[in-house]
Structure 1
């Protein structure tokens, strides 16, 4: 390599007798891949360009007028059906820190009437699909006819194969209208759930991905959609605990190390050059490389011939998520979270305890598919959303706002619009030993923490196959194949 870098070769312990892997990217996909490779006896190095792990599900410290706080960049939840993420939490020692609801119960406030009305989406312990029947029958935000039509649409969804390529070319709204769903039903039921999980409204979402979300989350098992929320900062899970698990597994974790190039190594395998600042680069040798970075970064790093049409990666769009953070001088919400209708507010979560706030209450508003608002000034967002919260929450009308701030993830997820399925690549590439991971790869799931973990496990499995490691019965649920050291 030429340029302003000086090289120093990195020695990997037991390099002469052990297979070696380099994982590029320290988000959930990369951490999962590194853990699986190390657990299989592969000498593994994880390179992360940031000073922390966790990717886009992280925390930061804020010196607020209310005191020093630990803030999640955005609200992330998982469901009981997210079996791979559940495995991940258990693997890093955090399974008790993100508990699941005993049974699905979503409070939904409709702000359209003069006095907001509360409805609830709930389930029972009855078998599928009867587990949702009582909750849907009592969901007051839909008429009796709309509830009956929603039940029929759910039964039709149950018969679909989310992997059917034909579904990827249809938008979810078109399918819903064909199955008798009114505009109100789309707003008060399908988009209520779908926008938060897909990061797109029904009219902009691939039917294939929507079918996967609703069939798996609502129709696969009675408790599949029970919601899990971390009761600690995400950084404690995805950085602190993940880093400790990697160290215990023997992974060498290098932060502030940005991969520059991946090239073939004389005699076979790969060499990765990673930059550390402006003057120093380090060289890593590997039998396998896992690229667990966003699609544009992967496109820039992939060696020639790795994909037949690498330009497709650049065709995978991105979608933003806006997060608004409000700290009141008193308690204004008695529930852990709620969703809203008839308001720009989407989902609101109480994050008082995880943040470390000593008094008052901290609410986090998660606004998905926020294309129209992602670049708005904080002052304009404050002027719009604080009155909406006061309208939804009577206790907020007399409360003082101690702090209001905004976090923006302009490329929070891949854009799940129709046709995206044919663009998402699998883990294995045409460059033997180079593999792709990330929530944007072809996991069958939308861009969720579950998708990220699944992609990392799949990439590790493929890497182990190329390195000649036999495997079966992978411990990550939903992933076939487990490496045997």
Structure 2
């Protein structure tokens, strides 16, 4: 159902066949539900919020349609690209033809300076060679050392568990990276993808990001983002795809318990109803999964509580005129990290709407709006001459205090796989053991893994199209 009303239909009313309940309507849950339904399983998707999309959603603020935060993906994110195709939304979130990131630096004595990170149509690692050689935010010696570190990073074995015990910052220092190089390159990319500075990030996850995103193929790091509100993709189009697949979708429906029945099936309790299913996928945050897991489902369920979280702060500014002529840029020498033009996507008819994405925002996540306004508006004027003298029509913030799991050293041993020790019960979520940091890609991959495990147990064939992204990787 797509209108949020309760249905009296239960699995008992469906034709005979295997049944599953997916708990959680974020990207992981939507993916798992679609995959199971495509294999002929009768699926009910339950979501406590009034919408789908999890932590990648939109809301209304007056005439604006606002994303809670700026979400991007890369060409190497083959699972999320499959997801976009599956919901018929790929054209609404296109990729760059070629990686091109403007980087504004305010730290130099000579003032504001523009550099670019972009690729050439050459094989790895030559595809970034010219860009790195001309990158003005590092000295020649720093650029040479960056190249050497990149080659060393490329040689790391991602399957080596010892990488997870080390922090990325120490590894960079040991490989000759200056504080400036970390700020102007490694953290420029790493903070946005890992939601942590290098010193707080697992070497294993950081190596995965840089090896996959920058060193796996010439176009791997090309950036894509939604040119429409996220709700158009992750709610409206996702619901349409779920409806077409025959999934029963219930929003505003909070699951209170999950338990086994004597006949080997599962009971999922919601207010006023108990659903019976052959398989259950828990596609919720790690704390909620811990609360719902039956005894014995995991060897060390307390590990879920040890997976930390990291916040993201988003600052939203609406100007009375255009102040930025590029779709986005990154900043150095400023508290500003990444700035995106969201004017067209939001439905704004005049002026310009900019969204500032501030990752690893532990120091600012609870800062009052007035203080953030005093901090960021002058910074935008320093970065964007067009903002000087422009009228500010609106200034507001969105805060995701638990936006991602914290990618700290040692987190890898805490992340569980899709299977539990309880037959028929599976886990999904960006925080599970996907090998990726907490991204939309990780969420979709987790949904695929959970569905694959469930289908194996249910004796259902894997839908071939579901695994096409693995072939494209």
1:248 aligns with 2:239: no
CA distance in 2: counterparts of 1:50 and 1:287, whole angstroms: 25
Contact 2:35–2:466 (Cα < 8 Å) also in 1: no
1:157 aligns with 2:153: yes
Task: Report SS of the residue matched to 1:61.
Answer: strand
Contact 2:23–2:282 (Cα < 8 Å) also in 1: yes
Contact 1:261–1:272 (Cα < 8 Å) also in 2: yes
Contact 1:326–1:405 (Cα < 8 Å) also in 2: yes
CA distance in 2: counterparts of 1:285 and 1:10, whole angstroms: 12
Alignment of 1:280-295 (within 5 A): 281-295=272-286
Aligned to 1:365: 356
CA distance in 1: counterparts of 2:222 and 2:140, whole angstroms: 25
Aligned to 2:47: 48
Aligned to 2:17: 18
Shift in Å, 1:9: 8.2
Aligned to 1:27: 26
1:257 aligns with 2:248: no
CA distance in 1: counterparts of 2:429 and 2:10, whole angstroms: 28
1:461 aligns with 2:457: no
Pick closer, same or farther for the CA change 1:16–1:231 going to 2, 3 Å: closer
Aligned to 2:140: 144
Contact 2:78–2:470 (Cα < 8 Å) also in 1: no
Aligned to 2:229: 233
Shift in Å, 1:112: 1.3
Shift in Å, 1:10: 5.1
Contact 1:9–1:282 (Cα < 8 Å) also in 2: no
1:407 aligns with 2:401: no
Task: Report SS of the residue matched to 2:84.
Answer: helix
1:342 aligns with 2:342: no
CA distance in 1: counterparts of 2:418 and 2:66, whole angstroms: 33
Shift in Å, 1:164: 1.4
CA distance in 2: counterparts of 1:432 and 1:49, whole angstroms: 25
User: Which of 75, 100, 103 is the matching residue for 1:105?
Assistant: 100
Task: Report SS of the residue matched to 1:349.
Answer: strand
Q: C-alpha offsets along residues 420-455 of structure 1, whole Å, 9 cap, x if unaligned?
A: 000000000000000000000000000000000000
CA distance in 1: counterparts of 2:71 and 2:415, whole angstroms: 23
Shift in Å, 1:282: 1.4
CA distance in 1: counterparts of 2:45 and 2:275, whole angstroms: 10
1:320 aligns with 2:311: yes
CA distance in 2: counterparts of 1:274 and 1:365, whole angstroms: 38
Contact 1:218–1:225 (Cα < 8 Å) also in 2: yes
Shift in Å, 1:104: 0.3
CA distance in 1: counterparts of 2:207 and 2:196, whole angstroms: 14
Pick closer, same or farther for the CA change 1:307–1:10 going to 2, 3 Å: farther
Contact 2:35–2:463 (Cα < 8 Å) also in 1: no
Aligned to 2:4: none
Task: Report SS of the residue matched to 2:114.
Answer: strand
1:212 aligns with 2:203: no
When the two structures are superposed, what TM-score results if normalisation uses the length of structure 1?
0.94
Aligned to 2:115: 119
Specify every segment of 5 or more residues in structure 2 that has no aligned partner in the other structure, as ranges: 1-6
Task: Report SS of the residue matched to 1:149.
Answer: helix
Contact 1:38–1:250 (Cα < 8 Å) also in 2: yes
Specify every segment of 5 or more residues in structure 1 that has no aligned partner in the other structure, as ranges: 1-7, 276-280, 481-485
Shift in Å, 1:379: 0.2
User: Which of 412, 415, 423 is the matching residue for 1:424?
Assistant: 415
Q: C-alpha offsets along residues 65-105 of structure 1, whole Å, 9 cap, x if unaligned?
A: xxx10000000000000000000000001010001000000
Task: Report SS of the residue matched to 1:271.
Answer: strand
Aligned to 1:83: 78
Aligned to 1:200: 196
Q: C-alpha offsets along residues 191-234 of structure 1, whole Å, 9 cap, x if unaligned?
A: 00000000000000000000000000000000000000110000
Count of residues paired in the alignment: 465
CA RMSD of aligned residues (A): 1.5
